Structure 1
Amino acid sequence: MRFNAGGAVAVGVVENDEIAELTHRTDRVPLGQSLVLSGRRWARSQVRLLAPIARPPKFLAIGKNYAAHTAEMGMPAPDAPLFFNKQSTCVTGPTDDIWVPRDAASVDYEGELGVVIGRSTRRVGADEALGAVGGYLVVNDVSVREWQRRSPTFTLGKSFDTHGPIGPWVVTPDEVPDPQDLRIRTWVNDELRQDGSTSQMVLPVAEQIAYLSQSMTVEGGDAIPPGTPAGVGAGFDPPRWLVPGDTVTVEVEGIGRLENRVIAEPA
């Protein structure tokens, strides 16, 4: 995890209600490396959690990977996996504010598991792909639907500043026996909007990594949110967009939760 304590950014590991700070040359989470404790410890209440990966080298999401979500959006199932970029400048922390842009109102939530690559790999098979995973986190793939519809790549509507809350930490793979058996829930204020399972994915995590690696090298630190279950705001009639004053909470079983306030974009 990354955190701010007394104005300084540090890296640490979570141990119950405490954070053990690591001795580390940079403020990057040391995926797949040996961890050396500095001896300093903090209560969770003393620190502000930051995005575990401040700027992922690649932020590669997939669309239409839950059949019920595809249906609620009124879209046909894709012929091939539909990947798109979220620009890494959208990344923000697990408790940071989400902005409603001044030039767009259709701001939506998408609660997701997030897969973090720990070891760079190329042309890996699905049977070996999980060996490249450095850990898992929680993602809210915040989307501006009107901008998303303007481009077949989705990128513009997925990349507004503050529209990539991730965290609250990276959970190592040994603590996640099966990434295809995790419950995902999203609340807006106190209302449960999404309640699904990663078992409902059309293309499982391992197959997604294998597919991407045929085209590109997936690198350490890359973040891959593998799709969202049904229940997004666009799926209601009429749509139920996020508005200033809302709070969005996304929880993935065994991983953690994000809790972000929604505010108007500052001047």
Structure 2
Amino acid sequence: MRVASYLVDGNPAWGLVTADGAGLIDATGQFPTLKAALAAGGLGKVAGALAGRPADRALDSVAFLPVVPDPDKILCVGLNYDDHRKEGNHPEQKHPTFFVRFANSQIGHRRPMVKPRISDMFDWEAELAVVIGKAGRHIPAERALEHVAGYAPYNDGSVRDWQRHTTQFTPGKNFPGTGGFGPWMSSPDEIADLQAVTVEARLNGEVMQHAAVSDMIFPIPALIAYASTFTELVPGDVIATGTPGGVGSRRTPPVWMKPGDVVEIEIGGVGTLVNEVVAE
């Protein structure tokens, strides 16, 4: 099952992506939002109720919202691929590095990604996002994937100079319109082997990052277990699981996203997020 959030005549909606990937079946009549459906444990009910229905609209006719437009929290993981850790000359970590994003920093598929006017150091970060479907605290790693509703591409767009003002990443990660999230969420049954899933970033068609989920330092179950120890995870929460090596800031010379660029984040077997960069 693939589900997306979007606008219809300016009104928020959500629905199932059709089997051929060309249309959307409106699920708003079942639950008002995807987050509400997740909170009620209702995705299976929605899928059953809408089975066999034709698309209500073409996929390319809607304005996409972030997959979960209104998450309770967005937790982002830093330095979770060894090549990215090494390219930044960071020491090995005993624990995952977590920071937060705000919901208003996110944009959906095909929406403009906004380069802040205050900085020219705007960088991409291809990531696999995990969407939580079942609440939990102190979740053991061996049960962690039972709490996952699905997976989606994420671009943790980073304003590097603001990120490096102090040791805290938050300012550089929360400029409005800098975090791409979409186009949709794929349920776990869509993925045959999570560890084999690939994470790739392309800038104007050129591959800049490519890695497998199996390359993560802290695997997804460990991230969920750790996060659920310091906070309660609730349905609709998002965990962006870290980016591999190849970011623009660590290239010689550095490569920054600029207005007119098109950045694609492809998660193998899940989908491809596409955003054009615009100036604030």
Bin the TM-score by the shorter chain.
over 0.9
The structural deviation recorded for 1:222 is 0.6
Show the 5 A alignment for 1:93-242. Answer: 93-242=108-257
The structural deviation recorded for 1:104 is 1.2
Equivalent position SS for 2:182: strand
CA distance in 1, matches of 2:30, 2:10: 17
> What is the aligned partner in structure 1 of residue 67 from structure 2?
52
Q: Is it true that 1:82 corresponds to 2:97 in the alignment?
A: yes
Aligned letter for 1:262? V
Count of aligned pairs between the two proteins: 265
- Preserved contact between residue 159 and residue 173 of structure 2 (Cα < 8 Å): yes
Give the direction of change, closer, same or farther, for the CA distance of 1:241–1:21 in structure 2 (3 Å limit). Answer: same
The structural deviation recorded for 1:79 is 3.1
Structure 1 vs Structure 2 CA RMSD = 1.5
> What is the aligned partner in structure 2 of residue 18 from structure 1?
23
Q: Is it true that 1:27 corresponds to 2:27 in the alignment?
A: no
Unaligned runs of 5+ in 1: none
Aligned letter for 2:190? E
TM normalised by structure 2 equals: 0.90
The range that moved more, 143-152 or 7-16, is: 7-16
> What is the aligned partner in structure 1 of residue 267 from structure 2?
252
Deviations 1:97-140 (A, max 9, x none): 11111111111000010000001101111000100001111100
Aligned letter for 2:226? Y
Alignment identity in percent?
A: 36
CA distance in 1, matches of 2:249, 2:207: 15
CA distance in 2, matches of 1:247, 1:40: 29
The range that moved more, 147-156 or 110-119, is: 147-156
- Preserved contact between residue 198 and residue 267 of structure 2 (Cα < 8 Å): yes
CA distance in 2, matches of 1:40, 1:232: 38
Aligned letter for 2:167? P
- Preserved contact between residue 115 and residue 178 of structure 2 (Cα < 8 Å): no
The structural deviation recorded for 1:86 is 1.3
- Preserved contact between residue 5 and residue 46 of structure 1 (Cα < 8 Å): no
The range that moved more, 29-38 or 57-66, is: 29-38
> What is the aligned partner in structure 2 of residue 4 from structure 1?
7
The structural deviation recorded for 1:39 is 6.8
CA distance in 2, matches of 1:179, 1:131: 14
Runs of 4+, deviation exceeding 4 Å: none
The range that moved more, 17-26 or 254-263, is: 17-26
- Preserved contact between residue 10 and residue 27 of structure 1 (Cα < 8 Å): yes
The structural deviation recorded for 1:48 is 2.4
The structural deviation recorded for 1:151 is 2.8
